[in-house]
A and B are shown apart, each in its own frame.
Chain A
Amino acid sequence: MNVEIADLTRRFDRTMAVAGVSLETGPGVFGLLGPNGAGKTTLLRAMATVIAPTSGTLRLLDRDPGQYGQRRDIRRRLGYLPQNLGYYPSFTVAEFVEYFALLKDMPAARVPAAVAAAVERVDLGSRAKAKLRTLSGGMLRRVGIAQAIVNSPELLLFDEPTAGLDPEQRVHFRGLLRELGQRATVVVSTHLVEDVGAACAEVALMDTGRIVFHGTPGELIACGEGTTAAGDAPLERGYSAVLAGARS
C-alpha cells in the first residue's frame, strides 16, 4: 500500500478538520469527494507532509513522514498540486518547473529532460519561455500540474486539479490521470463528481472530517439508485444520497 492512514485526526484550535480517517490505497487513481469544508484539503495537506496529524498514524510509500529522513525520502517521490497554487510571476514556465525539480532533489542530469517532458505533457511546450504572469488561470493550473509530475512521483496529490481548466483540457487531464495511475498512486480531491467517474478506480466521500463512503464509482452510483436524491447524473445522485444518509 502506498497510502496507509489509520484513525488520523487533525485539529486547528477548536475545529476538528479531520476526525478519525482511515484509508488504504495502492497504485491507481483515488478520488476524494466531499462538500466544501469536509476536510479534503486538510487530509491532502497531511498526506503531502505539509502538516503533521494531531493523532493517528500515517504511512506513505512505506515510510513514516514523522521521521525527517523518511519524510525527505517521501518528498523526493511526491507530487503535490495545492488548491491555491501560488507562483513566481517573473519565472518562465520552464524555470518554474525546473525550480521544483531541483527542490525535489532530482538528479541533475535528469532535470532538463524531465522539465521538457513535464511541460510537454501539460501542452505548454510552446509557452515554455513565457513568464507566468502572462498566463491565464487555466494555463497556470497546468503549470502546477507540470511541477507536480516533473519528478515522476510515486505518490501524486491533486487538490482541485481541474478548477479553471476548459472542457477540452479537463478531458485531456483525465486521460493524464489514468496514465499516471498505471504506475503511481494518484489522489484527486475534487467536488466535481464527473472527474471521479471518468478517471478514478476507487473513491471516498468525506463529510465533516469523516469518510462516509469508500468504494468504487459504480458502488457510489448504486447508492443513489431508487432514491429521490438530487442530481443530474447517476454519480451525483449517489453522492447526494450518501451525504443525506450520513447527515440523517
Chain B
Amino acid sequence: MTAAAGVPTTARPLPVEHVPRPIPWRLLRLEMRRNTMLWMVPVAIVLFWYHTYRQCMAQPPMWNLRAMTMQHGVLLDFVPPVVGAAAWMGWRDRRRRMTDLVATTAKPRLAAQLVTWAATTIWAMLAYLCCVGVMYAVVADQVAWGGPLWWPAAVGAAGITAMSAVGFAAGSIFPSRFTTPLVTVGVFFALGFSSQGAHNASSPWQISPQLAFPADIGPDPGMATFYHYLPDLSIAQVMLLAGLAVAALSVLGLPADSGGRWLRRSAAVLTAAGVVAAVTAVDLAGTGRTGPHGMVIIPALHDAANDRPIRYQPVCSRTAVPVCLNPAYAVYLPAVTAALAPLLGEVAGLPGGPARISQTAPIYSQGPGIGIGISVGSPSPGGNPSVSGSRTVSLILPGQLPGQQGTSSAQFATEVRSIAPAIVDMVIIGGPVGQDRVPGGSAAQQAVAAALLKDAGLQLTGPVQSGQPTRIPDNAVPGPAPGTPEYVAALRFAALSAAVRHAWLVTHLAALRAGQISLAQVP
C-alpha cells in the first residue's frame, strides 16, 4: 500500500483505457465476461443437438415440419442450463456475502440485478441463436422450396428470455442452495406437462410454448405449405412469455431496498401488466380453433390476409399423365409418380381419362372432441380425392411422409394409391366415387374397374354391408364379392397384359360407359 506521496512502489501502473464507454455497457461487459451462463453454453448446445436437432433432422426436409418440431423441443433442452444458470446468478450476492457491500452503492439494486440478468440472458440467447441458426442453415440446404418459419424461432427466443427471468427472480427472492435445483426441475416439469393438458385447438393449454400446432393434429406437412404460417398462436405464446418475463423481473423492484419510490411504483405497475398479459394470453388461447389450413386461429389475433393461399409453381413428372406436387414436396415426386404409374399407364390417353394429377391443399376441420377431419374441397372426413371438370384429379398427400414417425415408403405408396378408385371411376363411369365408394354401374363396368384397381396394387374386398363391423386393409377398396360373375370377369380382365387391356379400353370405352358391354364381352 502506498502510504503517502513519495513512498516508492515497485508495481507497474495499470494501463488506462483511453476510450471510456457508457457505464451500463461496461457493467454488462464485466458481467458477461464472468457469467455462469458462459459455462453452460456448451451444455445447452449439446442438449439441443442430442434432442431437438436430431429429432428435427429425422423429419422430412420441409420447413414447416422441422421448424415446428424445433419449437416443440428446444425449450426443454434449454431449461436446465438457462434456468439453472439464471437462478445461480440470482443469488450470487448472498452466496458470496456481497449483499452489504452492494447495498451501499448508488446504483439502484434493481438496475444492477437487471444487468446481471441481461448478461445471463445474452449468453443464453447467443447459444439459442447459434443452435437455431445452424439448424436453419442445414434445413435451408435440404429443403426444396419455401423459407424459414420465424415465428417458432421467435417463440423460442421469448421462452429463453422468460425462463432466464423466472430462474433469476427465484434465485434473488429465495437465495438458497436448494433454489437452483428446485426451480430448474420445477420449470422443466411445468414446461413438459404444459403441452400434455392440451387436447385440441380450443384448449387454454394450447398456450404451451412447446406447441406450434393444434395439439390433436401434431406437426403435419400440410400446414404452412399451401398457406402462410398463422402467427395467431405464436403471438399469444410470445405474449405469455413476455408477460412472465416482465412480471418476474419487475417483482425484483418491489422490495424497499431495490430503489426509489418511482422505481418501485413502476415495478409494481409492470408486475401487474406482466401478469395481465400472461393471463390474457392464456385466455386468448382458449378461444382458438383449428382453421381450414390446419393451424390455430385465435379470432382476436387473426389477420384474414394470412388466409390467402401461397402462390407456387408446381413440380410435375414427365409422364403421360403428369403428376404435379407443391414444390415443398418435390423430393416425393418420384415416389408418388411410381406409386401411380401402373394405373396411369393404363388410363393415359383414354377419352375422358385424367389429364393431370395435381396435389391440392388439405382442408382440416375440427370434429367433436379431438377428432380432426382432412379433406379436399369439402369438410367431409375421409380424404376423398376430387376430380375437377378439367380432367385434373386432385390429390392430397398423406399426413405421414416417408421417414416421418416410422412411415415406410411402401406405406406411403399405399396411401397415395388410395386415389386410384377416383381415377378409375372417372375413366370407367365418368365421375368420382371415391374411397368410400359403393361400386356402381353395370356389371361390366364393375368388373373392368375392379381389374384396373387390382392391377394398380389395391386389394378388392366385397361390398361393405352397412352395420357390419369389418376391418378393411389400408390398400383395399370395395369391389365385387369373390365368386360373383363380376369378380370372375375382373380376374379374367386383370390377367391380360397391360397393353392388351389398354387397347381394349381404347376401342370399347365409349360402349362400356354407355352400359352397352356385357360381362361376357369383357375379355
Contacts and interface: CB of A to CB of B under 8 A. Distances in A.
Are the chains A and B members of one assembly? yes
Interface of A: 45, 48-50, 68-69, 72-73, 75-76, 78, 80, 82, 84-91, 94-95, 98-100, 102-106, 108-113, 115-116, 119-126, 128, 142, 145, 147, 169, 171-176, 178-179
Contact of A111 (B2, B26, B101, B105): B26
B248 to A, nearest CB: 23
Pick the 6 closest A-B CB pairs, nearest first.
Answer: A175-B3, A125-B11, A86-B97, A116-B14, A103-B105, A172-B1
A110 B23 CA distance: 11
A125 B104 contact: no
Contact of A48 (B3, B4, B100): B100
Contacts of A116: 13-16
20 contacts: A48-B104, A49-B104, A72-B260, A82-B100, A85-B97, A86-B97, A87-B98, A88-B98, A95-B34, A100-B105, A102-B107, A105-B23, A112-B17, A120-B2, A120-B14, A123-B1, A126-B10, A173-B1, A178-B3, A179-B5
Contacts of A73: 106
Taking each of A72, A75, A112, which has the highest tally of chain B beta carbons within 10 Å of its own beta carbon? A112
A108 B7 contact: no
B311 interface: no
Contacts of B11: 120, 123-126
Contacts of A120: 2, 9, 11, 13-14
Contacts of A104: 105-107
Given A103-B106, A109-B20, A174-B3, 19 more contacts: A75-B105, A85-B97, A88-B98, A89-B96, A102-B27, A102-B107, A110-B20, A111-B23, A112-B17, A120-B2, A120-B14, A125-B12, A147-B101, A175-B1, A175-B3, A176-B1, A176-B3, A176-B4, A178-B3
Interface string B100-115: 1111111110001000
A94 B11 CA distance: 14
A91 B34 contact: yes
Contacts of A106: 23
Nearest to B3: A175
B23 A108 contact: yes
B13 A125 contact: yes
A88 B15 contact: no
B406 interface: no
B3 A68 contact: no
A108 B20 CA distance: 6
A62 B386 CA distance: 88
Given A142-B1, A174-B3, A125 B14 contact: yes
A228 B62 CA distance: 94
Q: Which interface class (under 10, 10 to 19, 20 to 34, 35 or more) fits B?
A: 35 or more
B106 A84 contact: no
Contacts of B20: 108-112
A123 B9 CA distance: 7
Q: Is chain B's interface secondary structure helix, strand, loop, or mixed overall?
A: loop
B264 to A, nearest CB: 9
Contacts of A126: 10-12
B126 interface: no
B2 A172 contact: yes
B100 A45 contact: yes
B1 A125 contact: no
Interface centre among A68, A119, A126, A172 (most CB of B within 10 A): A68
B33 interface: yes
Given A50-B104, A95-B34, A179-B3, A84 B22 contact: no
Contacts of A49: 103-104
A69 B2 contact: no
Nearest to B107: A103
Contacts of B10: 126
B259 interface: yes
Nearest to A146: B1
Given A111-B26, A121-B2, A80 B101 contact: yes
B101 A82 contact: yes
Contact of A84 (B3, B93, B97): B97
Given A78-B104, A88-B92, A91-B34, A119 B14 contact: yes
B257 to A, nearest CB: 9
Contact of B100 (A50, A72, A128, A172): A50
